Amino acid sequence: MKRDIHEYVKKCYMCQISKVEQVNTPRLLQPLIISNSKWESISMDFIMRLPRNQCGHDKIFVVVDSFTKHVQYLVAKST
Protein backbone atom coordinates (compact mmCIF):
# COMPACT_ATOMS: atom_id res chain seq x y z
CA MET A 1 0.00 0.00 0.00
CA LYS A 2 2.84 2.40 0.84
CA ARG A 3 4.43 1.77 -2.56
CA ASP A 4 1.10 2.38 -4.34
CA ILE A 5 0.63 5.69 -2.54
CA HIS A 6 4.19 6.72 -3.39
CA GLU A 7 3.65 5.92 -7.07
CA TYR A 8 0.32 7.78 -7.14
CA VAL A 9 1.80 10.91 -5.54
CA LYS A 10 4.82 10.76 -7.86
CA LYS A 11 2.55 10.79 -10.94
CA CYS A 12 -0.07 13.26 -9.68
CA TYR A 13 0.57 16.84 -10.87
CA MET A 14 -1.46 18.49 -8.09
CA CYS A 15 0.36 16.44 -5.45
CA GLN A 16 3.72 17.64 -6.81
CA ILE A 17 2.91 21.37 -6.86
CA SER A 18 1.29 21.41 -3.42
CA LYS A 19 3.99 19.38 -1.70
CA VAL A 20 4.99 20.76 1.70
CA GLU A 21 8.65 21.70 2.01
CA GLN A 22 10.71 19.90 4.60
CA VAL A 23 12.16 22.64 6.81
CA ASN A 24 13.71 22.75 10.23
CA THR A 25 11.38 23.37 13.12
CA PRO A 26 11.36 27.01 14.23
CA ARG A 27 13.41 27.94 17.24
CA LEU A 28 12.65 30.31 20.06
CA LEU A 29 12.77 33.98 19.14
CA GLN A 30 15.68 36.00 20.43
CA PRO A 31 14.67 39.10 22.40
CA LEU A 32 15.41 42.49 20.88
CA ILE A 33 18.06 44.62 22.50
CA ILE A 34 16.45 47.36 24.59
CA SER A 35 18.36 50.60 24.24
CA ASN A 36 18.67 53.09 27.09
CA SER A 37 19.10 56.29 25.12
CA LYS A 38 18.22 57.90 21.80
CA TRP A 39 19.97 56.71 18.62
CA GLU A 40 21.79 53.92 20.47
CA SER A 41 20.05 51.21 18.44
CA ILE A 42 18.94 51.98 14.89
CA SER A 43 17.73 50.11 11.85
CA MET A 44 18.39 51.20 8.26
CA ASP A 45 16.83 50.31 4.94
CA PHE A 46 16.64 51.52 1.34
CA ILE A 47 13.44 51.96 -0.67
CA MET A 48 14.60 51.58 -4.26
CA ARG A 49 13.38 51.76 -7.87
CA LEU A 50 11.17 54.78 -7.35
CA PRO A 51 10.36 57.23 -10.16
CA ARG A 52 13.00 59.97 -10.43
CA ASN A 53 12.13 63.40 -9.07
CA GLN A 54 13.26 66.74 -10.56
CA CYS A 55 16.69 66.48 -8.90
CA GLY A 56 17.25 62.89 -10.11
CA HIS A 57 16.70 61.15 -6.76
CA ASP A 58 15.20 57.65 -7.06
CA LYS A 59 15.90 56.09 -3.64
CA ILE A 60 14.87 56.77 -0.06
CA PHE A 61 17.23 55.88 2.79
CA VAL A 62 15.20 55.15 5.95
CA VAL A 63 16.75 55.29 9.44
CA VAL A 64 14.61 54.31 12.45
CA ASP A 65 15.54 54.84 16.11
CA SER A 66 14.23 51.85 18.06
CA PHE A 67 14.07 53.77 21.38
CA THR A 68 11.98 56.78 20.32
CA LYS A 69 10.53 55.30 17.10
CA HIS A 70 11.76 58.44 15.33
CA VAL A 71 12.20 58.02 11.57
CA GLN A 72 14.49 59.93 9.20
CA TYR A 73 13.91 59.77 5.43
CA LEU A 74 16.82 60.77 3.23
CA VAL A 75 16.61 60.96 -0.56
CA ALA A 76 19.42 59.44 -2.60
CA LYS A 77 20.51 58.83 -6.19
CA SER A 78 21.39 55.51 -7.82
CA THR A 79 25.02 55.85 -8.84
In this predicted structure, what is the pLDDT of residue 1? 84
Q: Where are the alpha helices (DSSP H) in the chain?
A: 2-11, 13-17
Range of the domain at 77: 35-79
Residue 75 is assigned to a structural domain of this protein: yes
Count the domains in the chain. 1
| pLDDT tens, N- to C-terminus, the chain (79 residues) | 888 888 887 888 777 777 666 667 778 888 877 889 999 989 999 999 899 999 999 999 999 998 999 999 999 998 7
In this predicted structure, what is the pLDDT of residue 21? 65
CB 50 within 8 A of CB 58: yes
Residue 17 is assigned to a structural domain of this protein: no
Between CA 58 and CA 38 the distance in angstroms is: 29
